Amino acid sequence: MRILLLSDINSTHTRKWAAGIASRGHVTGLFTISNPVTDWYSSRNIVVFNSAHGNINTSSVFSILHYRKAAQELNKVIQKFQPDVVHAHYATSYGLIGRWSDFHPFFLSVWGSDLLVFPKKSMLHAGILKKNLRSADRIFSTSKVLMNAVKELTGLDSVIVPFGVDPEKFKPGKGMRVFRDEAIVIGTIKTLEKNYGIDVLINSFELVKNKFPSTDLRLVIGGDGSQRAALELMVAEKRLSDYVVFTGKIPAEEVADYHNAIDIFANLSEYESFGVSVLEASACGKPVVATDTGGLKEVVINGKTGILVPTGDVEETANAFGKLVADSRLRQSMGAEGRQFVMNTYNWNECLDKMIVEYESVKAIPGK
């Protein structure tokens, strides 16, 4: 088949979907309004169509005109590429461009903030999103949380196809040498922004470190973002700089190595629509401490693959870390259960298979 994806070329999720589809022998095209940072696609024979209206400033009053022009460009790409399916990933920007192309069958995947944040900005934003969703022949959600949100907003059903994790790429291993082998390392890999609870992580680490003064505890904070300088200052003021490492942005090909450098993984987000980083950690055999919110409740089996804690609760988070620090067998058992959970429920190859089946069923979709 000929599959044309509409998506951000620099997203790791886009990269996984496009590479996965191409690996199954389908002719894969990618229309994007972002300028590529690296060339990950040529060697995979993925045909990229980069809009002349790339990196659209969504805060500009003229952004809607740029989207309209991008849709016109997409129509030319469709005539050239002759796709069997057009599939937009992200229901706002790419969903709008896809809707305006008026091509069918048109598939649309919701990712998170496009559904949970965008429609709350105004009635106009909500109206645009509803039209985008209703224009799709099939809607895909990455989690039950998003499936329910689609239903609540539009009354429409959607098919759950998670992002999934490749268990051959993310598996237990030696990992990076960030600290000496004897250390117990708590860590996270997230964008360093306010809503991801990195400040809660640092405060919780301080408490558990004080509780276990004779244990060599360390903290790895993987990722970058606008809050990095403030967080580094916070660590310095707490006199924890000797025990905490900020890695900066981690290349996609090194993420698994960093997961394997961590003994206890943390995701303390205020809200998440899914939780791919949690599944990656679980696939690497790591126990998880995560907030009891949104899609994180779907990717952590509380008491079995990890421990769920109230959002923003420093003491409860520190207590959860303490349980795992004090009990190596618990760390090992939760890690093993987590990997099995990923293998059974979120295996990337099975998620890809599910999407391929949807593509191959397009002949059953009547034209609009």
Instruction: Give the model's pLDDT for residue 363.
Output: 63
- Please count the structural domains in the chain: 2
Q: Give a yes or no: residue 169 inside a domain.
A: no
User: What is the spatial distance between Cα 217 and Cα 179, in angstroms, rounded to a whole number?
Assistant: 10
Q: Would you say residue 29 lies in a domain?
A: yes
pLDDT of 129: 95
Domain that holds residue 121: 2-164+348-364
Same domain? 106 vs 39:
yes
Same domain, 328 and 357: no
Q: Which two tokens stand for residue 39?
A: 């060339």
CA angle 120, 124, 126 (to 5 degrees): 45
Q: Are residues 220 and 356 in the same domain?
A: no
Position 174 in a domain: no
Q: Is residue 176 part of a domain?
A: no
pLDDT score at 319 = 98
What's the Cα-to-Cα distance from 224 to each of 2, 132, 151, 195, rounded to whole Å? 36, 32, 34, 14
Q: Are 148 and 218 in a shared domain? A: no
Per the domain annotation, does 177 fall within a domain? no
238 and 112 fall within a common domain: no
Is 288 part of any domain? yes
Residues 44, 74, single domain; the answer is yes
Spatial contact of 191 and 223, defined as CB atoms under 8 Å apart: yes
- CA–CA separation, 231 and 32 (whole Å): 33
> Same domain for 190 and 153?
no
Q: Which residues contact 344 (CB under 8 A, 6 or more apart)?
A: none
The domain spanning residue 313 has which CATH number?
3.40.50.2000
Q: How many CB atoms lie within 10 A of CB 88?
A: 28
| Residue 233: Cβ-neighbour burial (10 angstroms; 0-12, 13-18, 19+) | exposed
The verdict on 156 and 272 lying in the same domain is no
Tokens of residue 305, six digits: 């693959």
Of 240, 241, 245, nearest in space to 262 by CA: 245
Q: Which residues of the chain have pLDDT under 70?
A: 52-62, 363-368
- Which pLDDT belongs to residue 179? 77
Same domain? For 10 and 152 the reply is yes
Judgement on whether residues 43 and 81 belong to the same structural domain of the protein: yes
Find, among 58, 122, 59, the residue nearest to 96 by Cα. Answer: 58
Q: Is residue 322 one of the residues assigned to a domain?
A: yes
Q: How far is CA 253 from CA 169, 187, 263, 280, 346, in A?
A: 9, 18, 20, 13, 20
Asked if residue 287 has a cis previous peptide bond (ω within 30° of 0), the answer is no
Dump pLDDT digits (tens) for 2-57: 999 999 999 989 999 999 999 999 999 999 998 899 999 999 999 999 986 555 54
pLDDT at site 53: 56
Sort 42 into a burial class: Cβ within 10 Å, 0-12 / 13-18 / 19+.
Answer: exposed
pLDDT in the model for residue 176:
75
Residue 290 domain flag: yes
Report the predicted TM-score, pTM, of the whole model to 2 decimal places: 0.87
Q: Which two tokens stand for residue 4?
A: 């044309």
| Same structural domain, 156 and 210 | no
Q: Do 66 and 204 reside in the same domain of the chain?
A: no
Residue type, 268: L
